[in-house]
Amino acid sequence: MSDSQPVIVWFRQDLRLSDNPALQAATGTGAPVLPVYVLDDENAGEWSMGAASRWWLHESLNSLHSDLDGGLQFFKGRADQLIPRLAEQVNAGGVFWNRCYEPWRISRDKVIKAELLANGLQVRSFNGSMLFEPPTITKSDATPYKVFTAFYRKGCLQSGPAPRAVVDKPSGLRLHEFNTGSVLADYGLLPDIRWYSEMAETWSPGEDGARARLKHFLKAGIQHYKSGRDRPDQEFVSRLSPHLHFGEISPHQVWYAAKALEADASFAGDVDHFLSELGWREFSNHLLYYWPELPRNNLQRKFNRFPWREDDKALQRWQRGQTGYPIVDAGMRQLWRTGYMHNRVRMIVGSFLVKNLLLHWHRGEDWFWDTLVDADLANNSASWQWIAGCGADAAPYFRIFNPVTQGRKFDPDGVYVRRYIPELAKLPNRFLHNPSDAPDTVLQQAGVRLDDNYPAPIVDLKESRERALAAFKSLTVNQ
């Protein structure tokens, strides 16, 4: 590869300039760099991005394009055809990228690498997105972990390689003069109807937004993270998940920034707990790598016999936040409006769907995939299997979250519920999380009319719990 031949840097889930190993290495060759992004819906298949993710991607690519002084080149189509064709067109000497671990990406990237190598190009891939890459973490018998604590504490922290060091934003980056003439608007990522207006008010996609979000969390959130992270009415979660998914910030940057606070004893427990949450992200990717069927197939095969119900009306009421249980409805409305839901509430709404409504976890997985700005194949799949009880290290079948008691415990003053369900705002806290228990006079005074301006409960909690337990126990009986 000569210095005059450009190096293509293929951006994927690493939409940033700092701590980008592929970009750093390409710049270090001294050759001009051609940065490209390919929207590859064809190879992604059913896992092409949902609507909320596409909005985020549009904004993030705009930001990266600006950071590259207008030098990012956009393509849409099959990357296994476009990348080799582009390399030939510009007489590239090499193609560099940071690795991804979704099964469809792994299969596609192997094909691309083989063709590029056969054509005489240099191909280099790097770790840009994982603290502990899946192939590096196994048990002593070389089998993959299925339990999180052992995976994280023993496999990663005790036996695994230390997370790589953060690399600087490359200096001396020289862009190859090439322009396809395509613009981001050609991607069709944004619909004509601006349904995403509240998401745009809520989030700041891009590398600058990611850095600002991390800075804010380390200053105002992490000190009370261990206890406060379960409170949707408070601001003690990082909200870094979409920035991490799109690679606007690396987990390595987050890891070392948080660990820098460990020297202060007042932060120690909170920092450790936050880092373990990054560990859950690693564990989900570990599961997806070793069990590529994770997004659709029960890891515990006995669940293939589970008697799921079909009820489109109930599913729609859950999706729209009309179940009659305020903490569930507030979560679903937060998701619809902002593309995000607090993690504690995700567990509550997930349990309600698969256990109280007995609807297949695929229904929740698909809805989250379309509506979350942080929709991530590994996290989404592993989390839904966890709450359904059919995954690795899953919640036990008898763990059925009671949305009333959960609401009272984690939103005791009703701040979260009142924010997203204003029609209940005047209800006293005593009845806010279960309006159907309120006397008629209290409902009238609060302006609440059940099954008019707020729905009555879609199911009885006690009866639906017993129904779920019977369904779960049937799996053991029929073994």
Q: Catalytic residue numbers?
A: 277, 280, 308, 343, 361, 384
- CB atoms inside a 10 Å sphere around CB 92: 24
Report the alpha-carbon distance of residue 349 to residue 407 in Å, rounded: 11
Q: Both tokens of residue 373?
A: 């700005």
Q: How far is CA 384 from CA 54, 275, 311, 350, 379, in A?
A: 22, 22, 19, 7, 8
Closest of 22, 30, 23 to residue 6, by C-alpha: 30
Amino acid identity, position 377 = L
Given a contact cutoff of 8 angstroms between Cβ atoms, the answer to whether 417 and 237 are in contact is no
Q: Is 48 exposed, middle or buried (0-12, 13-18, 19+ CB in 10 A)?
A: middle
* Residue linked to tokens 């249980």: 325
- 61, 85, 77: which is closest to 11 by C-alpha? 61
Cα–Cα dist 207/366, whole Å = 28
Phi-psi region of 122 (alpha: psi -120 to 50; beta: other; left: phi over 0): beta
Pinpoint the alpha helices (H) of 321-460.
326-338, 343-351, 361-371, 377-388, 403-410, 415-420, 429-432, 440-446
Measured distance CA(298)–CA(314) in Å, rounded: 23
DSSP letters for 289-304: HH-TTTTTS-SSGGGG
Q: How far is CA 154 from CA 3, 138, 148, 269, 331, in A?
A: 45, 10, 10, 19, 35
